[in-house]
Amino acid sequence: MVPNSNLERLSRYLENVSALSKEYSASVFWENRLGDFKTVIKKQNIQTISMDNIEDIVKSLGYHSDHKTSEEILSSIDKTLQLLDKTLKKTNSETAGIEKTDWEHLNALYFLKRYKLLELYTAFLKDMQIASNMSIARHFYYAYLLGNLMRKYLNSAASNVLEIGAGAAILAVFLTRKGLVKNYCIVDLPEMLINSSNTILSYVPDAQIYFNEPVQADTLSEATRFWLFSPQNISMIPDGFFQLALNFNSFMEMDKAARDSYIELIYRTGSASALFVNSNRRQAALPQRDGSSFDNHPLFYPYHSDDLVAMWEPDEFQQATRSNFGTTPLSFSILRVAVINR
């Protein structure tokens, strides 16, 4: 059951989301993705918002709910794994006659199987009651990886986390369900914050959600608190607050100025010896709003020279899921893990 206070806050946020969007220009990439949102939001009765209404809005953003029963979860995994024998006889998804989404899902499950994580993954999904697909498997793997990194580099049992471009907030929910989060701050496009809040309300119903409100430390609160910010309100995020900062497949979609400003935000809001983890691909000619394009290369992001780099290498999961047998993607996803603000 979702607390009324969360739905009331979301309702107030939805009343302002169109105005927030006008104040901030999304990149060309996201401007094209948000085409149906304005039409759908006008049809909603914001004052009496419900979880069903939120689902309709989220669908206009190109997303859908992955909520499934335990039986449906197991059936989906078994069905996908049955494609393995057929697939191994072929060279790639096209010649195997398999849809791209099934191909990526198959590769994701096989990756988890090779790393002996498949049983843990299946049990986690049954507990969450969420369907398996490539994206869900990827976020599970990142949550597993981040859990190991947090135990190695961070002292606190539960951390304050900042994620730039969280999308559906699947990673935020997974980390929270693992007991690794105290406060979780998300910065994203105004429309995408609706998607994030929908996932949080669905899978962490006892959480507290705040939209564009100053972050406040509350050591007495037992509930995880989520602070959701549109880009023009990031000044409300305090200096030195976060022990973990994240970005996955988001810097690679941004204009250069926006990308660089978010990286500086991470350094400003990260605590002493915070962890900064990101994985992004190169976009050799990413268009910008002024009509120009630039080489958005993850090896040349404006990191600080005193970072202690723990990992800087191809992202194994994304490499595996985007590959065909005998071939590799042209652009690697580069995973970087660094201790910052030392």
SS3 320: helix
Mean pLDDT of 230-237: 96
Least confident of 18-22, 49-53, 158-162, 329-333: 329-333
Give the pLDDT confidence score for residue 328 in this predicted structure. 60
Does residue 25 or residue 337 have the better pLDDT? Answer: 337
**Whole-angstrom Cα distance, residue 35 to residue 191?**
11
Closest CA to 336 of 237, 245, 238, 211: 245
The more confidently predicted of residues 48 and 333 is 333
- pLDDT given at position 3: 67
Least confident of 5-19, 52-66, 219-233: 52-66
Residue 231's pLDDT band (cuts 50, 70, 90): very high
Q: Express each pLDDT in 179-206 by its tens digit.
A: 999 999 999 999 999 999 999 999 999 9
pLDDT of 281: 95
* Domain limits, the chain: 4-66+133-340, 70-121
Measured CA to CA in angstroms, residue 9 lies from 3, 211, 285, 326 at distances of 10, 7, 40, 51
Percent of the chain exceeding pLDDT 90 equals 61
Which residues, in sequence order, are CB contacts of 82 under 8 Å at separation 6+? Answer: none
Task: Give mean pLDDT, residues 313-322.
Answer: 90
Tell me the C-alpha distance between 46 and 278, whole Å. Answer: 35
- The yes-or-no verdict on residue 1 having pLDDT over 80 is no
CA distance 293 to 289: 9
- Tokens 């660094």, residue? 338
pLDDT at 307 over 70: yes
Read off the pLDDT of residues 236-251 as tens digits, 9 standing for 90 and up.
999 999 999 999 999 9
Contact present, 274 and 244 (Cβ < 8 Å): yes
Rounded CA-CA distance 57/38 in Å is 9
Mean pLDDT value of segment 117-141: 96
Homologous superfamily, domain 4-66+133-340: Vaccinia Virus protein VP39 (3.40.50.150)
pLDDT of 73: 86
Grade residue 222 by pLDDT with cuts at 50, 70 and 90.
Answer: confident
Q: Is a pLDDT exceeding 70 seen at residue 86? A: no
Strand pairing partners for 245?
A: 162, 276
**Whole-number pLDDT of residue 96:** 58
| 65 HSE (CA, 13 A, CB side) | 19
> Is 292 a residue whose pLDDT tops 60?
yes
What count of other Cβ atoms lies within 10 Å of the Cβ of residue 3? Answer: 15
Buried b (16+ CB within 10 A) or exposed e, 103-128: bbbbbbbbbbeeeebbeebbebbeeb
Ranking 82-86, 169-173, 250-254, 315-319 by mean pLDDT, the lowest is 82-86
